Amino acid sequence: MMKLLTLIVILIMHNNSLANQQISNLITPMSYFINHVKQLNDLQRNLDKYKKASILGTSGTGKTQLARTYAYENRDKYNIIWFIDCNLDSNKEFVKLAKYINQETNANLSEDAEISKKEVMNYLSHQNQWLLVLDNLKINENRKIQDLIDWEHNGNIVFCSQDSEALPHVIEITSFNQKDSVTLAGNLLDSADKNDITFLSQAFSGYPILIVQGAQLLNKIKGLNKEEYKKKIYQSADKIKLNITLAIQELKPSAVKLLAKIALINNQQFSKQLLRQITDDISSIEDDIYQLSKFMLIVNVKTNEDNPIFEMHDIIAQKVVEINGDKNNQIYLEDIITKFISFIPKGVVKSYVFREEETVRENLEIITKNAQKYNINIYILMELNLQLIIQYVNTLDLYNSRILVDWFNINNEERKFKIRSMDNNVKAVYARFLGMIGWYHRRCSDYTKAAEYYNKEIEVYNDVKGFEASKCNAYFGSPSINVESLNHRNPCSIKESCIAFSI
């Protein structure tokens, strides 16, 4: 009898332990998110019946907050709650989930970006207490997650999109009704002025993000001519851009610049530590963050005394870059990258730890996308990519390495790199990039290709002054390739040969 009781206690303790080990990146929904009771009920009904549900609405209507609210209110039902940002590479997003699953369950899922997604999906197919939210899908983007839409499983998936195409079991987010809008405005305004409440609820057509911003402007701008503000809003074709413009006019110059940079590094999460690296004035960072938070341009989503995490709504990021214009965005991006490069630790281990810091990988991905969009100086981007490929190759991250190898080769073939017009420092970066591509092929046991790039590296270095250590590595790399090629008698698959060589 005593043995049986002991066994029961052990089982209870084990189950409680599993329950406490929830894998989640859930962010608590905004306190101002109210109502949408019908949509929440519809979401619950669709998930219960179909295991899938889709939230449809334009930017700023509250899709993400609805998904967060559902997840928060039902968090005790799930062992896994994971939000995937569809602005980013979904393969890399699944790697993050795989890492957390491995840490908590010892599932031994692959953390290789090429196969991690497939292994995570296979793992989840044998579970039932999990929720995935595919967030931030834009117009014409649903097809890129078609495999997840078609996936048969026993868990729950929510798709948040601006486009209904191909989505299952759609729930449309409508504007707040008059009653909800009045309630939200009343909750946000410091004063209970009925005229202000009526204005916010009517002028902003029930869009919560607009009501929030309008309330903050009325609350925070001292001496604001309310009647003039209301007149401008009623006449404006782009109310949110007008609100942001008015808020920017109240910011100090350093906060304005920081806002512009935030819109270009990530329209979701970013850390205070990263802001410290890209700001022009480190002494004003605390005040700048306060000013941006005061007008709800950024929101603190994860409190941490040393390194809090913030987010910026995608519609705010979009309007900020529109206000700045392409030329200024280009200048800000070049400055961001230059500052970022100077902060990347040069040691392999330290750099790996740096890239693993919360939000950094995602920020880098957005920076790279925007760098191409705004056509920044390709040599500045090349220097950033050089620092990244050095770390990717040295840590056997072949997925990300291959992306940068392809980037370099495409730009080289299109003659965007003009060696004759490069200064000495840029030429050295170009040569070293060639050498890293050689090292990438060497890791993959393609010694012929590796030797080809090493020879190209040496050829460029012959016209470079200084950089003796880098030159020495290049001259050593080419002959050592021949030795490795002779010793490599039993080639295996690329992945296996790379791992074997690294050992």
Which DSSP symbol is given to 26? P
Per-residue burial over 208-247, b = 16 or more CB atoms within 10 Å of its CB, e = otherwise:
bbbbbbbbbbbbebeeeeeeebbeebeeeeebbbbbbebb
d(CA 492, CA 248) in angstroms, rounded, equals 58
Q: Is the pTM of this model over 0.85?
A: no
Helix (H) or strand (E) holding 305: none
Q: Does residue 409 belong to any structural domain of this protein?
A: yes
- Under 8 Å between Cβ of 354 and 360: yes
Beta bridge partners of 172: 56
Final residue of a domain: which of 249, 270, 287? 249
Residue range 415-460, pLDDT digits in tens: 999 999 999 999 999 999 999 999 999 989 898 899 899 999 999 9
Residue range 183-239, pLDDT digits in tens: 888 888 988 789 999 999 888 876 788 888 899 999 999 888 889 999 999 999 999
Q: Are residues 418 and 455 in the same domain?
A: yes
Beta bridge partners of 300: 310
pLDDT score for 345: 73
Tokens 């008059």, located at residue:
178
- Under 8 Å between Cβ of 317 and 279: no
Q: Are residues 139 and 193 in the same domain?
A: no
pLDDT score for 351: 64
Which residue range forms the structural domain that includes residue 468? 377-502
Q: Does residue 7 belong to any structural domain of this protein?
A: yes
> Where does the pLDDT of residue 487 fall: very low under 50, low under 70, confident under 90, or very high at 90 and above?
low
**170-172 and 299-302 as β-strands: parallel, antiparallel, unpaired?**
unpaired
Q: By 3-state DSSP, what share of the chain in percent is helix, strand and coil, each rounded to 5?
A: 65, 10, 30
| 502 has a pLDDT exceeding 60 | no
Give residue 78's identity as a one-letter amino acid code: Y
pLDDT score for 324: 96
Q: Give the residue from 310, 338, 328, 313 showing the smallest Cα distance to 257.
A: 328
Mean pLDDT along residues 3-30: 54
pLDDT score for 37: 82
Q: Are residues 8 and 77 in the same domain?
A: yes
Q: Are residues 405 and 480 in the same domain?
A: yes
Q: Are residues 226 and 167 in the same domain?
A: no
**How many domains does the chain divide into?**
3
> Where does the pLDDT of residue 501 fall: very low under 50, low under 70, confident under 90, or very high at 90 and above?
very low
Q: Are residues 59 and 100 in the same domain?
A: yes
Q: Are residues 124 and 242 in the same domain?
A: no
> Where does the pLDDT of residue 503 fall: very low under 50, low under 70, confident under 90, or very high at 90 and above?
very low
Q: Are residues 144 and 205 in the same domain?
A: no
- Among 84-98, 174-188, 337-351, the minimum mean pLDDT is found in 337-351
d(CA 133, CA 81) in angstroms, rounded, equals 8
pLDDT score for 459: 94
pLDDT > 90 in the chain, percent: 64
pLDDT score for 270: 94
